[in-house]
Structure 1
Amino acid sequence: MCTLGIDVSKNKIDLCLLTAGPGGKKKHKVLTNEPAVARKVVDWLNAQKCVPESVTVVLEATGIYHENLAYGLHEAGVSVCMANPCRVREFAHGMDILNKNDAVDAFVLACYGELKSPAVWVPPSPEVRKLRALLRQRDALREDVQRTVNRLEKANSTSTPQEVIRSLERMKSWLNEELARIEKLITDHT
Structure 2
Amino acid sequence: MKKHSYIQMGLGMDIAKSDFSACIMGFEGKKKYKVLASSKFSNTPSGFEKYWSWSQKHLGKHDCEDIEYLMEATGVYHENLAWFLYDKSVKVVVALPSQAKDFMKGEGFGVKLIK
Q: TM-score, normalised by structure 1?
A: 0.46
Equivalent of 2:103 in 83, 91, 110: 91
Higher relative contact order (CA 8 A, sep 6+): 2
State the Cα deviation string for residues 129-183 of structure 1 (Å, max 9, x = none).
Answer: xxxxxxxxxxxxxxxxxxxxxxxxxxxxxxxxxxxxxxxxxxxxxxxxxxxxxxx
Say which structure is richer in strand. 2
1:61 and 1:105 map into 2 onto residues whose CA distance is 17
1:19 and 1:95 map into 2 onto residues whose CA distance is 15
Cα 1:3–1:90, aligned 2, differ >3 Å: closer, same or farther?
same
State the Cα deviation string for residues 60-113 of structure 1 (Å, max 9, x = none).
Answer: 1121111111111111122101112111111222344334xxxx3657xxxxxx
Instruction: Say if 2:69 and 2:92, in contact at 8 Å, map to a contact too.
Output: yes
Instruction: Say if 1:7 and 1:105, in contact at 8 Å, map to a contact too.
Output: no
- Structure 1, gaps ≥5 residues long: 108-190
Q: Which amino acid aligns with 1:64?
A: V
Q: Specify the structure having the higher radius of gyration (Cα).
A: 1
Q: Which amino acid aligns with 1:32?
A: S
Q: Which amino acid aligns with 2:67?
A: V
1:62 and 1:81 map into 2 onto residues whose CA distance is 13
Alignment correspondent of 1:23: 32
Counting matched residue pairs gives: 102
2:49 and 2:67 map into 1 onto residues whose CA distance is 14
Q: TM-score, normalised by structure 2?
A: 0.72
Alignment correspondent of 1:39: 49
2:69 and 2:41 map into 1 onto residues whose CA distance is 15
1:83 and 1:12 map into 2 onto residues whose CA distance is 18
2:23 and 2:99 map into 1 onto residues whose CA distance is 19
Percent identity of paired positions between Structure 1 and Structure 2 = 27
- Structure 2, gaps ≥5 residues long: 1-7
After TM superposition, the structure 1 = structure 2 runs for residues 1-190 of structure 1, keeping only pairs within 5 Å, are: 1-21=8-28, 23-26=32-35, 27-48=37-58, 49=60, 55-99=67-111, 104=112, 106=114
Moved more, 68-77 or 12-21: 12-21
State the 4+ residue runs in structure 1 displaced beyond 6 angstroms: none
Q: Which amino acid aligns with 1:15?
A: A
Q: Which amino acid aligns with 1:17?
A: I
